[in-house]
Amino acid sequence: MIEIFSTTVLLSMSIGVAVVCIGLVIRGCIADAKWPSHLIALTYFFVIISAEAAELLNQSLPDEQRSLWLQRTTLFFVPSLGACIWFYVRGLTSRNVGWALRDLWHLVPIAICIVGALPYLSLPEQQRTIIMTAGGDLLDPTSFIAIIFMLLAWIAWITILILYGVASMSRLIKHRRAVRDLYSKVDGVSLTWLHVLITIVVTFTVLVLITSVYPAFSSAELFSNKLVALFYFCVVLVVGMFGVLQKNTMPSWSELDTGERNGRRYARSALQDKDLTRIARKLDVAMQDTQLWKNPNLLLIDLANVTGVSQNNISQTLNEHLGVNFYDYVNGWRIKAACADLRSTDRSVLTISENAGFNAKSTFNAAFKKVMGQTPRQYRIAAAEGVTPRTK
């Protein structure tokens, strides 16, 4: 009884949070007079979770109180979960947040999955229940066809979800590299939370899809309704906290072709080695004279405006000639300034990190150890003892 109550509460809270988030997203789109693809995908994600929670909540009710139209309705929603995640990721990591005609092909695998489930859905409720709990009578042609098509549909769903998950993670990995060519501070634009969430959602959903077929061959229940309900609530809460407020991370001012690898990105460049050397010297002079690195929110466009060098040429110089991206280049200057302060002053590490342009002590410590091979405190002690610090 307690488990049923807690499951009902979790599912009801999941639906409530999802509905509130949908309202916030729609309100924001109306206020901005824009309907970017990632926000439409986010809204649909909340619809999917709400439908899943509503169906599970409906199943927990006594037979006479169940709503027939809620039973198995998610079979029409779940196949689109992978595409929903993909469009959300694509919208956040692309300057083009609109839709294209070629996007319609994403409906094809979804339609295949739904068609595969139709023979099962066309059966009477009692026969569907027997199939899901006892496996059904394989000698009955209708049950046999329904089971075969349902298994094929489940396999297709799992395959599609995994493929979309892999594609989304691959895009996020490329995006992580891309933002380091544009920003000197990646907090809020690295989308680390989305990496973790996609991994959890795809893994859990695949397991649930697999175990939803499992009862047809065994009476064992691997995932309780309470566990699934807790998962729904946690996902809705996390996406509501981070996803609703998450802005597109690719700035409109960017001139870089961040979708290509460095070698291909600069394939058409006319810059020679002497040009790259000259630009590198110009960048160093600008950083030294203006101390741009002190700005914690320094952007690639800021350096381009100060030096008069195009963003693409700066990026090529940093990546090909100096072997660093913009993020590491700026942090290199910050670490250099911090080292000087650690050797010659008794200021706190926090103060030194802020003066060097770092917005958080944890970020400073991680960047410092990456460059110097030791923590700021260890560096200061070594410098005081007359030991020459070594970089990694």
Same domain, 24 and 158: yes
pLDDT band at 297 (very low <50, low <70, confident <90, very high): very high
Q: How many CB atoms lie within 10 A of CB 137?
A: 14
Q: Which residue has the tokens 């993909």?
A: 86
Asked if 41 contacts 22 with a C-beta cutoff of 8 angstroms, the reply is no
In whole angstroms, give the CA distance from residue 218 to residue 216. Answer: 6
> Is the domain of 221 the same as that of 281?
no
3-state secondary structure of 121: helix
Same domain as 153, residue 38: yes
Site of tokens 């139709």: 118
Question: pTM of the full predicted structure?
Answer: 0.84
Q: Alpha-carbon torsion 214, 218, 224, 227, what sign?
A: negative
Both 164 and 304 in a single domain? no
What pLDDT score does 228 carry? 86
- If phi > 0 it is left, if psi is from -120 to 50 it is alpha, else beta; for residue 324 that is beta
44-74 pLDDT, tens per residue? 999 999 988 888 888 777 766 666 666 666 7
User: Is 9 in contact with 224 (CB distance < 8 Å)?
Assistant: no
What is the domain range of residue 331? 262-384
Asked if pLDDT for residue 312 goes beyond 80, the answer is yes
Instruction: Tell me how far apart the terminal alpha carbons of the chain are, to the nearest angstrom.
Output: 60
Is the domain of 22 the same as that of 156? yes
Structure token digits, residue 270: 């006319």
Q: Of 198, 213, 243, which closes a domain?
A: 243
State how far the Cα of 81 lies from the Cα of 203, in Å rounded to an integer.
Answer: 13
In a domain, 254, yes or no: no
**Residue whose structure tokens are 């809460």:** 237
Residue 390 in any domain: the answer is no
Q: Which of 243, 276, 307 is the last residue of a domain?
A: 243
The band of 318, judged by pLDDT with boundaries at 50, 70 and 90, is very high
Using alpha carbons only, give the angle 286, 288, 293 rounded to the nearest 5 degrees.
85
CA 193, 259, 44, 189 torsion: positive or negative?
Answer: positive
CATH of the domain at 307: 1.10.10.60
pLDDT of residue 119: 83
Residues in CB range of 242: below 8 A, 6 or more apart = 193, 194, 197
Q: State the average pLDDT for the chain.
A: 85
Give the pLDDT band of residue 260 (cuts 50, 70, 90): very low
Residue 222 and residue 325 in one domain: no
To which residue do tokens 């002190």 refer?
294
392 belongs to a structural domain? no
**Cα 72 to Cα 90: distance, rounded to the nearest angstrom:** 30
Q: Do residues 231 and 298 both lie within one domain?
A: no
Residue 321 contacts residue 276 (beta carbons within 8 Å): yes
176 and 51 in a single domain? The answer is yes
Task: Say how far apart CA 147 and CA 215 lie, in whole Å.
Answer: 12
- Of the pLDDT bands very low, low, confident and very high (cuts 50, 70, 90), residue 330 is very high
Assess whether 105 and 229 both reside in one domain: yes
Query: Are 373 and 278 found together in one domain?
Result: yes
**CATH number of the domain where residue 68 is located:** 1.20.1070
